[in-house]
Chain A
Amino acid sequence: DVVMTQSPLSLSVTLGQPASISCRSSQSLVDADGNTYLNWFHQRPGQSPRRLLYTISTRDSGVPDRFSGSGSGTLFTLKLSGVESEDVGVYYCMQGSHWPYTFGQGTKLEIK
């Protein structure tokens, strides 16, 4: 299975400040079709995960543009341009290029 490794595992950010989460895969996520299937999810406490981004950087419907994704190959980054109170929770990356799909271990974001 592809191992997804996130860093940091926890993050404390002042409201309005940027935040960045890294996700590294144990093998390239470039699919045979040339696309890279990397999803990012946000899980608020007591809720189910919500997908934010797919194919590295495409935002799902309703996702604020303060969320952005970048990267290629085996290294990817989720960036928040200015953290808001509703952004607290755990962020997961997930690869969809190789079966079984696999998740990172999660990064907990809290407000400082």
Chain B
Amino acid sequence: QVQLQESGPGLVKPSQTLSVTCSVSGVSVITDDYFWTWIRQFPGEGLQWIGYIYFSGYTYYTPSNPSLKTRLVMSVDSSRNQFSLRLNSMTDADTAVYFCARGRNSGSSRGVDHWGQGNLVTVSS
């Protein structure tokens, strides 16, 4: 079955860069039918889209959060069946659980169907 698992640091210092990788099993990241996405959850709060990427390299950044776009790089590594997020200039406001997930933009099941378990990232000196 489809499984996703994040791997990344638990603690990042302010101004440093966060790197989180999502390992995918049970399905190939090489697909035009699904996108690979990052969603974060602030402590005790709801869910916020960060952006998504297709295997082709097409990326989408949430327009309502322009500050993220200038700091964010997403990539797909088909040789390792992984995709990654890099977020630079981290601040306290970026403390959150970072989820990777799979989603669809077409078909009746449009939305997000599989999630990783989440990677808690705390920004602190």
- CB pair A102–B111 under 8 Å, yes or no, is no
- CB pair B111–A96 under 8 Å, yes or no, is yes
On whether A92 and B63 interact (CB within 8 A), knowing A48-B118, A49-B115, A50-B115, the answer reads: no
A37 to B118, CA, bound (A): 25
A49 to chain B, nearest CB (A): 6
Q: Which of B63, B108, B118 is the one whose CB lies under 8 Å from A55? A: B108
A104 to B48, CA, bound (A): 10
Q: Which of A35, A51, A94 is the one whose CB lies under 8 Å from B108? A: A35
A61 to B111, CA, bound (A): 15
- CB pair B46–A92 under 8 Å, yes or no, is yes
Interface of A is mostly: loop
A60 to B49, CA, bound (A): 22
A41: chain B residues within 8 A (beta carbon):
112
Q: Which of A35, A39, A47, A104 is the one whose CB lies under 8 Å from B112? A: A39
A42 to B125, CA, bound (A): 34
Total contacting residues, chain A, CB less than 8 A: 26
* Interface flags, A97-108, vs B, CB<8A=1, else 0: 101111111100
A102: chain B residues within 8 A (beta carbon):
49
Let me know if B110 is at the binding interface, CB within 8 A: yes
A35: chain B residues within 8 A (beta carbon):
108, 110
Let me know if A28 is at the binding interface, CB within 8 A: no
- CB pair B62–A60 under 8 Å, yes or no, is no
Question: Which residues of A are at the interface with B, using a C-beta cutoff of 8 A?
Answer: 1, 35, 37, 39, 41, 47-51, 54-55, 58, 60, 92, 94, 96-97, 99-106
Query: Can you show 13 pairs from A to B with CB atoms below 8 A apart?
Result: A49-B99, A51-B113, A54-B110, A54-B113, A55-B108, A55-B110, A60-B113, A100-B62, A101-B49, A101-B103, A101-B112, A103-B48, A106-B47
| A-B interface, 7 closest residue pairs, ranked by CB to CB distance from nearest | A39-B111, A48-B115, A96-B111, A96-B110, A103-B47, A37-B110, A100-B62
